[in-house]
Amino acid sequence: MTDFRTKMMRRALALARRGFGKTSPNPAVGCVIVRDGEIVGEGWHWKAGTPHAEVHALRQAGEKARGADVFVTLEPCSHHGRTPPCAEALINAGVSTVYAAMMDPNPLVSGRGLAMLRKAGITVNCGILEQECRLLNEAFVKHVTTGLPFVILKSAMTLDGKTATSSGDSKWITCEESRRYVHALRAKVDAIMVGVGTVLADDPQLTCRMVRGKDPQRIVIDSRLRTPPTASLFHLDSPAKTILATVERDPQKIAAIQSLGAEPLLCSEDDGRVDLEDLLRRLGARGIQSILLEGGRELVGSALRKGLVDKFFLFYAPKIIAGDDGFGLCSGRGVERMKDAFTLRNTSVRRFAEDFLVIGYPESTCLQD
């Protein structure tokens, strides 16, 4: 029986992944309804503002939901938001048992949905594949519990750790397959962030044009509003916002940026530059759950030293620049002893043609600004 329950929760998790990247600020959730050992209803949350996974599954199951078992990747909600409570819908459908992978970390729910089900006489079990389901919604979990976005650092490097040659040339380090995967990542986050140095050097579009999907909001750390009006990110056929995080108060510069359709976002100062922690608080308050941080070196170094990176996507191409005059991942002073190095945990490796992608999470850091 335990194996069957795990199998059904894996199916619910697979359904949840179909909505990943489309549901923010809500979590990605999947639901499977089983009666007499057979699946009678399935559903997942498509996008924010639409019915939740449980509602879609109940609609498919119809009368067969009565007395059935429900497998859902997250505790059913108990509050009225843009949609009615899912716990209430399950109660009204007359289900017998609910298996939830994890409790909802949202303070508005946080056990209340499960308590509502129990009070109605429904048997409740929680914890099947909890870690897998938690990882799927890691950005939601961080944002709903801290108010801060989940920051993912992405970089492409040669085998000797260079992100560009001595002339600044970086096109292209990785293969097309790797770059397409990066665009798919962009389509699944709420925002993409770069420093003004990257804009001045590369004139990026910061879109997900290599795949089908929504463009993320574009955030440029531009303390003194140096981004030129000719920059590509001001002239895109894209519904996503372009935001320039700044400490510049010059009304003429601000008006010029606004005239291009972008938004200057005034932040607190940190040694004359944008305070990244203040910026993340402001972005989190706007409902931005996830950010893909793509450079440049100064921004990456600062984010690492302040402990603001939650996850790493590091691409390595089988190339060697063969010199000490290229550009590395970070600028600024690093650690002096190897035992103080920034360490990754829970690492995994994927391959794209001849490229390698290392995915991991930060353990701790002794780096200091």
CA nearest neighbour of 185 among 144, 148, 213: 213
Contact 66, 90 (CB under 8 A): no
Contact 8, 129 (CB under 8 A): no
Residue 361 DSSP SS3: strand
Pairing of strands 150-158, 123-126: unpaired
CA nearest neighbour of 189 among 295, 314, 294, 290: 290
**Is 54 tagged catalytic?**
yes
Both tokens of residue 331?
């600028």
The helix/strand count (H/E) of the chain reads as 11, 16
How far, rounded to the nearest angstrom, does the alpha carbon of residue 52 sit from its chain's CA centroid?
Answer: 20
Catalytic residue among 54, 75, 88, 294: 54
Beta strands in 230-286 (DSSP E): 242-246, 263-266, 269-270, 273-274
Active site (catalytic) residues: 54
